[in-house]
C-alpha cells in the first residue's frame, strides 16, 4: 500500500465532492474538504472556502496544510455550478459567474496547490469537468465553456510542471445522480437517459473511483488526459 497522502477536495460537503473525499478517506489518505455551507462527510474535516475568492482559496489551503501537517499532495477541483439558459437570454452575469466558479475557481486552486507540490516535487491535480465540456448542450453555453476550459488548463499545467513530478488531469462525468441533476426537468432527464449507451445514470462513487485512480502511483504516467465517466454518452470526443 502506498503512503497516505494529504488531499484537498473543493465542494466536498455534498454530491460528487463528498463521494470523492469519502473514497480517499476510506483508502487511508488524510483528507480535508472545502465547503461554503455544511460539514464534510463522516470523518473528514472541512474548511470554509468560496472558490470565487483568491483570498479564501489561499486561506483554505493554509488551514488544510496546518490540519494535515504539510503541503497538499492531491487537489481535486470539484466545486461547480450551473446557470442554464438559452444563449440569446444569457446575461453577462450568467456567463461570468459560471466561469468564475468552474474555471477560474479551479485555476485558483491549482495555482495555490502548485506552490507546495513544486517544493515536494510531486503532486496530482484533478479537475472535475463534464461530458458537456466537449459535447456541448443547449442552454449550457456558459457551463460548457467553463468545463472545456479545464482541458486547456490541465494540458498547460502538464506541459509546465510535468518534469516536476506533477500530473494534471480532467475527469469528465456524464449524468451522475446528485442535487445538480435532480434539479433538471423530467423531460431532460429522460432525453439524457435515452442517449446514454449504458442505459442508466451513475452514482457519485463511480466518479470517485476514477479520481482516486488518477491520484494513485499507478497513474504516474497519465497527464493532460480527459477521462470520461459517462456510460459512453460522449464517445467521439
Catalytic residues: 143
Minimum CB–partner distance for residue 11 and ligand NDP (Å): 3
**Is residue 151 part of the contact set for ligand NDP (CB under 6 A)?**
no
Measure the CA angle with vertex 162, ends 160 and 167; round to 5°: 110
**Is residue 72 part of the contact set for ligand NDP (CB under 6 A)?**
no
Would you give the DSSP letter of residue 75? E
**Is residue 51 part of the contact set for ligand NDP (CB under 6 A)?**
yes
Whichever of 42 and 160 has its CB closer to ligand NDP, that residue is 42
**Residues between 99 and 118 that touch ligand NDP (CB under 6 A):** 101
Whichever of 93 and 218 has its CB closer to ligand NDP, that residue is 93
Query: String of b and e for 144-170 (b: at least 16 CB within 10 Å)?
Result: bbbbbbbbebbbebbeebeeeebbbbb
Asked whether 72 and 116 are in contact (CB, 8 A), the reply is yes
**Is residue 140 part of the contact set for ligand NDP (CB under 6 A)?**
no
**Is residue 90 part of the contact set for ligand NDP (CB under 6 A)?**
no
Stretch (H or E) spanning 166: strand 166-173
Span interacting with ligand NDP, options 49-57, 84-92, 160-168, 213-221, rule CB under 6 A: 49-57
Reference 108, options 10, 14, 35; nearest CA is 10
**Is residue 189 part of the contact set for ligand NDP (CB under 6 A)?**
no
Contacts 24+ apart (CB under 8 A), 92-98: 94/142, 95/141, 95/142, 95/145, 97/52, 98/142, 98/143, 98/146
Of positions 80, 149, 228, 231, contacts ligand NDP by CB under 6 A: 80
Which residues does residue 169 pair with via DSSP β-bridges, in sequence order?
126
**Is residue 182 part of the contact set for ligand NDP (CB under 6 A)?**
no
Q: Which residues here bind ligand NDP, judged by CB under 6 A?
A: 10-11, 13-17, 36-38, 49-52, 78-81, 101, 128, 130, 173, 175-176, 178-181
Amino acid at each position: 500500500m502506498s503512503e497516505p497522502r494529504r488531499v484537498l477536495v473543493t465542494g466536498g460537503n455534498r454530491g460528487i465532492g463528498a463521494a470523492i473525499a469519502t473514497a480517499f478517506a476510506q483508502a487511508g489518505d488524510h483528507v480535508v474538504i472545502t465547503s461554503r455551507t455544511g460539514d464534510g462527510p463522516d470523518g473528514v474535516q472541512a474548511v470554509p472556502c468560496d472558490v470565487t475568492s483568491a483570498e479564501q482559496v489561499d486561506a483554505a489551503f493554509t488551514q488544510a496544510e496546518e490540519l494535515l501537517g504539510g503541503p497538499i499532495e492531491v487537489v481535486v477541483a470539484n466545486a461547480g455550478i450551473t446557470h442554464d439558459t438559452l444563449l440569446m437570454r444569457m446575461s453577462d452575469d450568467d456567463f461570468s459567474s459560471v466561469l468564475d466558479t468552474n474555471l477560474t475557481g479551479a485555476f485558483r486552486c491549482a495555482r495555490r496547490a502548485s506552490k507546495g507540490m513544486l517544493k515536494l516535487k510531486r503532486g496530482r491535480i484533478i479537475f472535475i469537468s463534464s461530458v458537456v465540456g466537449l459535447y456541448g448542450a443547449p442552454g449550457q453555453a456558459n457551463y460548457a465553456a467553463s468545463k472545456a476550459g479545464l482541458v486547456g488548463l490541465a494540458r498547460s499545467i502538464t506541459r509546465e510542471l510535468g518534469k516536476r513530478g506533477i500530473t494534471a488531469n480532467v475527469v469528465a462525468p456524464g449524468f451522475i445522480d446528485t442535487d445538480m441533476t435532480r434539479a433538471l426537468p423530467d423531460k431532460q432527464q429522460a432525453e439524457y437517459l435515452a442517449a446514454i449507451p449504458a442505459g442508466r445514470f451513475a452514482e457519485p462513487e463511480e466518479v470517485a473511483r476514477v479520481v482516486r485512480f488518477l491520484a494513485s502511483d499507478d497513474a504516474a504516467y497519465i497527464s493532460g488526459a480527459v477521462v470520461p465517466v459517462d456510460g459512453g454518452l460522449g464517445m467521439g470526443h
